[in-house]
Amino acid sequence: MLNGKRILLIVSGGIAAYKSLELVRRLRGRGASVRCVLTGAGARFVTPLSLQALSEDRVYSDMFSLTDESEMGHIQLSRDADLLVVAPATANLLARMAAGMADDLAATVLLATDKPVLAAPAMNVRMWTHAATAANVETLRKRGVAFVGPNEGAMACNEFGPGRMAEPDEIVAAIETMLVPRQRPLAGKRAVVTSGPTREAIDPVRYISNHSSGKQGHAIAAALAKLGADVTLVSGPVALADPPGLRTVKVESAEEMLRASLAAGNVDIAVCAAAVADWKVVHPAAGKMKKKAGAPPPQIELAPNPDILATLSRPGPQRPALVVGFAAETENLVANAIEKRQRKGCDWIVANDVSPSTGTFGGERNTVHLISASGVEDWPTLAKEDVALRLAARIALHFSGPPKAEAAE
């Protein structure tokens, strides 16, 4: 709940501004008060009257209005808020924020604030993937601006790709993550989580992969973010929405997954939940391999993929303080997982039985064993979200407790 929280919602000029009306409703429904700042372009998409009626407050647009400046100046607008939310955040406003401009009320408030800022970008896919926007987003992230979305999907401009504004519920979830400090024991910690399968190309249309749905890994990333960690989720191809309140990097092959995991930089926590293909195709064909009548099937030469868990577990200054691996086994689950923990050099292993009869792959529930140097814990069968919350809570405990026995591992 957001009882008593004060949100300053900045609406800039994108098609998605209509969703901000619903966002105001949802936020107020959860007990927050909402005050709106509307850019000139934003007012071409939604009317001040709609925002005023839904927020039950006046809407601020004009920096040079004598009444606005005396009643509620740009500094006061920020002072009176617990959080500034920019939704939609246009390419233009993100560029102005990154450049430190103060050329209208929205940009001035954003420059003058010392409050946390959450941006929900929304724009055409090419605007989002343009190097200029990517650089602006990177700059803003480094300055502490949090992002939710954008999501991938069909867009108003009849194109498909990343650029759709996150849905109001996702934005509310990201706001709750930022504003409920009691539940943020991992604030200040950085985490990388791998999730989903990898795909190893045979040719441009065929690949080697597995049945991993990414549900468990995505839930762990979301749970760590909920507890305040700054999370990078490195995801193989999955049919899941990007969890709110964290950074999702999409990859295909194991090599890309390793590169993206290392690119997440110095992290405190690494959770390797992805089902990484053990082998890659040595020479993927440049064109589609043709079936020829009477010819024998092609011989596909395989080579081992990089071992992401072992690489991240390697001792050295870059090693995360806690590395958690997953063991998906169909037999001798616990014994194999104990052996895997030692072989890979990670701290904990979450072992789960993926025999077809368990329905773990793609299913909603999971039965796991947590293996550390202190022994084996058998957890009850839980929804994957609950396994994730329990694991995130254990990770928080690991970092919050006094120097622990496990440190002597």
Ligand X SMILES: Cc1cc2nc3c(=O)[nH]c(=O)nc-3n(C[C@H](O)[C@H](O)[C@H](O)COP(=O)(O)O)c2cc1C
CA distances from 97 to 112, 234, 298 (A): 11, 27, 55
DSSP labels, 12-80: -SSTTHHHHHHHHHHHHHTT-EEEEEE-TTGGGTS-HHHHHHHHTS-EE--TT-HHHHHHS-HHHHHHT
Q: Which residue among 33, 61, 90, 232 contacts ligand X (CB under 6 A)? A: 90
Task: Tell me which stretch binds ligand X (CB under 6 A): 119-127, 138-146, 202-210, 387-395.
Answer: 119-127
Instruction: Give the binding-site size for ligand X (rule: CB under 6 A).
Output: 15
- Give me the least distance between CB of 331 and ligand X, in Å please: 52
Pick the closer one to ligand X by CB: 14 or 243: 14
Q: Which residue among 10, 27, 35, 42 contacts ligand X (CB under 6 A)? A: 42
Q: What is the CA radius of gyration of the chain?
A: 24
Q: Which 3 state secondary structure label does DSSP give 376?
A: strand
Pick the closer one to ligand X by CB: 56 or 103: 103
Does 12 sit near ligand X (CB under 6 A)? Answer: yes
Pick the closer one to ligand X by CB: 1 or 99: 99
Pick the closer one to ligand X by CB: 127 or 387: 127
Does 93 sit near ligand X (CB under 6 A)? Answer: yes
Task: Tell me which stretch binds ligand X (CB under 6 A): 60-68, 71-79, 122-130, 344-352.
Answer: 122-130
- DSSP letter at 335 equals H
Task: Tell me which stretch binds ligand X (CB under 6 A): 84-92, 217-225, 308-316, 378-386.
Answer: 84-92
Q: Which residue among 51, 91, 98, 233 contacts ligand X (CB under 6 A)? A: 91
Q: Compute the distance between CA of residue 246 and CA of residue 190 in angstroms, rounded to an integer.
A: 11
Does 50 sit near ligand X (CB under 6 A)? Answer: no
Pick the closer one to ligand X by CB: 136 or 253: 136
Residue 10: which region, alpha, beta or left (left: phi > 0; alpha: psi -120 to 50)? Answer: beta
Q: Which residue among 7, 13, 350, 360 contacts ligand X (CB under 6 A)? A: 13
Residue with the CB atom nearest ligand X in the bound state: 14
Check: CB of residue 150 under 8 Å from CB of residue 86: no
Query: Residue 219: how many CB atoms within 10 A of its CB?
Result: 25
Q: Which of residues 153-212 bind ligand X (CB under 6 A)?
A: none
- Active site residue ranges: 157
- Give me the least distance between CB of 31 and ligand X, in Å please: 28
Does 39 sit near ligand X (CB under 6 A)? Answer: yes
Q: Compute the distance between CA of residue 234 and CA of residue 223 in angstroms, rounded to an integer.
A: 15
Q: What is the dihedral of CA 61, 66, 69, 74, to 10 degrees?
A: 40
- Give me the least distance between CB of 70 and ligand X, in Å please: 24
Interface mask toward ligand X for 272-301; x: CB under 6 A: ------------------------------
CA of residue 242 relative to chain centroid, distance: 6
Does 92 sit near ligand X (CB under 6 A)? Answer: yes
Pick the closer one to ligand X by CB: 132 or 303: 132
Q: Which residue among 123, 271, 333, 370 contacts ligand X (CB under 6 A)? A: 123
Does 231 sit near ligand X (CB under 6 A)? Answer: no
Pick the closer one to ligand X by CB: 19 or 199: 19
Task: List Cβ<8 Å contacts ≥24 apart for 169-173.
Answer: 169/26, 170/241, 170/244, 171/23, 171/85, 171/87, 171/118, 171/120, 171/244, 172/2, 172/23, 172/26, 172/27, 172/30, 173/244, 173/245
CA distances from 263 to 232, 233, 260, 317 (A): 10, 12, 5, 15
- Give me the least distance between CB of 119 and ligand X, in Å please: 12
Phi, psi of 390, deg, nearest 5: -65, -40
Q: Which residues bind ligand X (CB under 6 A)?
A: 12-16, 39, 41-42, 90-93, 122-123, 127
